[in-house]
């Protein structure tokens, strides 16, 4: 039996919710909002810290991704005029995550040139077991140097202008992960995940 994740157990301090802006990446100002993703037989939850982190005089949102098996990844994002960026705290480098207004044919690379990314479709529908998303962009991700041996060589990301990142598929179109639920301005004790729908 899968256990739901209690937002309060994740030490999500309760404050009023604010989006940084509507767009292809959801950057939550406070930690009482979260996104729940199905990931094969597992799941993960994404939420943000209340405080930002500064690298090279630039402020980044701190995003946590907690997996059902217990691992937690930390990522750092910021929005500029034309692009969203992420910061690699191990290599101390910044890379483009996605253009703010993605256009067909937009292409960019990870700072160390280990990955290439390209917007290959726009105004796309992305259907998942949870929801059908409209006006999505599809980004082709290709590993160039085999730096990340535990990741696939190729996959595709889907971003919605209303929900941000909503899922990914493998090179054959099989869904690898998808957004199952999003809680905005959660109250103490609220649950996110499969049990929250009961």
CATH code of the domain in which 15 resides:
2.40.360
Q: What pLDDT does 4 receive? A: 43
pTM of the model: 0.85
Distance CA 70, CA 64 (A): 12
Q: How would you classify residue 173: left for phi > 0, otherwise alpha for psi between -120 and 50, otherwise beta?
A: left
Judged against a pLDDT cut of 50, whether residue 15 lies above it is answered with no
The mean pLDDT value for 87-115 works out to 96
Picking from 2, 72, 100, the residue whose alpha carbon sits closest to that of residue 42 is 2
Q: What pLDDT does 79 receive? A: 95
Q: What pLDDT does 22 receive? A: 57
3-state secondary structure of 193: coil
The mean pLDDT value for 100-121 works out to 97
The mean pLDDT value for 172-185 works out to 93
The mean pLDDT value for 144-168 works out to 93
3-state secondary structure of 21: coil
The secondary structure element, H or E, covering residue 47 is strand 42-48
Q: What pLDDT does 146 receive? A: 85
Q: Note the pLDDT tens digit of each residue in 16-66.
A: 333 333 589 988 887 888 999 999 999 999 999 999 999 999 999 999 999
Counting the structural domains of the chain, the total is 1
Judged against a pLDDT cut of 80, whether residue 136 lies above it is answered with yes
Q: What pLDDT does 194 receive? A: 64
Give residue 107's domain range. 5-197
Distance CA 178, CA 153 (A): 19
List, in sequence order, every beta strand (DSSP E) within 56-193.
58-67, 72-79, 83-88, 93-99, 107-109, 115-127, 132-143, 154-160, 164-169, 175-183, 191-192
Q: Could you give the percent of the chain with pLDDT greater than 90?
A: 72
């Amino acid at each position: 039996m899968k256990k739901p994740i209690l937002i309060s157990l994740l030490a999500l301090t309760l404050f009023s919710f604010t989006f940084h802006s509507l767009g292809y990446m959801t950057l939550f100002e406070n930690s009482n909002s979260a996104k729940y993703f199905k990931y094969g037989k597992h799941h993960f939850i994404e939420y943000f810290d209340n405080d930002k982190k500064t690298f090279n005089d630039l402020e980044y949102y701190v995003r946590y991704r907690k997996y059902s098996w217990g691992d937690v990844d930390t990522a750092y994002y910021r929005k500029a005029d034309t692009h969203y960026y992420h910061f690699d705290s191990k290599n101390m480098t910044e890379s483009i995550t996605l253009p703010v207004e993605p256009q067909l044919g937009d292409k960019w690379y990870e700072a160390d040139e280990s990955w290439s990314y390209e917007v290959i479709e726009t105004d796309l529908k992305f259907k998942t077991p949870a929801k059908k998303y409209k006006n999505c962009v599809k980004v082709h991700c290709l590993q160039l140097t085999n730096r990340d041996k535990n990741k696939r060589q190729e996959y595709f990301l889907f971003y919605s202008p209303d929900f941000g990142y909503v899922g990914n598929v493998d090179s054959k179109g099989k869904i690898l992960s998808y957004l199952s639920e999003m809680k905005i301005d959660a109250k103490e004790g609220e649950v996110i995940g499969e049990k929250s729908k009961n």
